[in-house]
Structure 1
Amino acid sequence: MSLVTAGVVVLDCAEPEKLAEFYKELLGAEDLDAHVNRVEIRAADGFRLALRRDVNATAPSWPRPENSLQAHLEFVVDDLDAVERLIVGLGGRPMETGDATGPTEERGYADPAGHSFIIRRGTSTAPKQG
């Protein structure tokens, strides 16, 4: 029997309530738990994401090399273009992540607080760059 009952990805940000709204809309999620300094949401597939208040939070600089990527989120999607429109409509922004020639099976974005994430079609086969 496992002693660990759940895993939660936690992102630090200045305004967890505002960022939770972005991810709730993107993932079709619901509030799981909310406190003064933390909001946790759960998507329909069980994925859990918490947003924790850090008044000094700064966005990572990825993909710029002066600050390496420590972690990022990946979401599997069926329609890259439709999800991109949703992300931008919710206040996210596309990130320049390298060579964009050829068929694009994954795309990089930043949420409204600057955290990086990827949307991809199918299983990623590309090696980590950098």
Structure 2
Amino acid sequence: MALVTAGVVVLDCAEPEKLAEFYRELLEADDVDASANRVEIRTADGFRLALRRDVNATAPSWPRPENSLQAHLEFVTDDLDGVERRIVSLGGRPMESGDSSGPTEERGYADPAGHSFTVRRGVPTAPKQG
């Protein structure tokens, strides 16, 4: 038996209730557990994300070195354009990414509190040809 098991991803932010609503809507999560300084959501597939109150939290400044990216979330979809519309409608914003000359397999975003996350195209389920 392992001494530790996987816990939960926790993001610090000034207003956990607002940020939890963004992720609850984006991930279509129904299970929400809230206390005075923390809100945790759980998706149907068991993913857990907690938002912890830190009144001094500042948004990551990636790719600038000061207050740079510490970690980020990655989500998977088969509909990058649809997810982007959903993210923007919930208050998130696209972040500048590299080459924008064609369809990308991964896109970067910031949530309403400024935490970065990516959405990438899902791995094809069809067998590889050739």
Give the direction of change, closer, same or farther, for the CA distance of 1:103–1:65 in structure 2 (3 Å limit): farther
Q: Which residue of 2 aligns with 1:10?
A: 10
RMSD, aligned CA: 1.5
Q: What is the alpha-carbon distance in structure 2 between the residues aligned to residue 32 and residue 4 of structure 1?
A: 24
1:59 aligns with 2:59: yes
* Per-residue deviation, residues 25-57 of structure 1 (Å, max 9, x unmatched): 000112342100000000111110000000000
Give how far 1:24 is off: 0.3
**Equivalent residue pairs, number:** 123
One-letter code of the match for 1:114? G
Q: Which residue of 2 aligns with 1:85?
A: 85
Give how far 1:62 is off: 1.2
Q: Which residue of 1 aligns with 2:102?
A: 102
Task: Output the TM-score relative to the length of structure 1.
Answer: 0.87
The correspondence of residues 10-89 of structure 1 with structure 2, limited to 5 A, is 10-89=10-89
Q: What is the alpha-carbon distance in structure 2 between the residues aligned to residue 13 and residue 85 of structure 1?
A: 24
One-letter code of the match for 1:46? G
Q: Between the two proteins, what is the percent identity of the paired residues?
A: 85
Give the direction of change, closer, same or farther, for the CA distance of 1:13–1:4 in structure 2 (3 Å limit): same
| Cα pair 1:74 1:119 within 8 Å, conserved | yes
Partner SS for 2:101:
coil
* Per-residue deviation, residues 59-108 of structure 1 (Å, max 9, x unmatched): 00113344432100000011000000000000000000222223301100
1:115 aligns with 2:124: no
| Cα pair 1:105 1:120 within 8 Å, conserved | yes
Question: Mean alpha-carbon deviation: is it higher for 64-73 or for 77-86?
Answer: 64-73
One-letter code of the match for 2:107? R
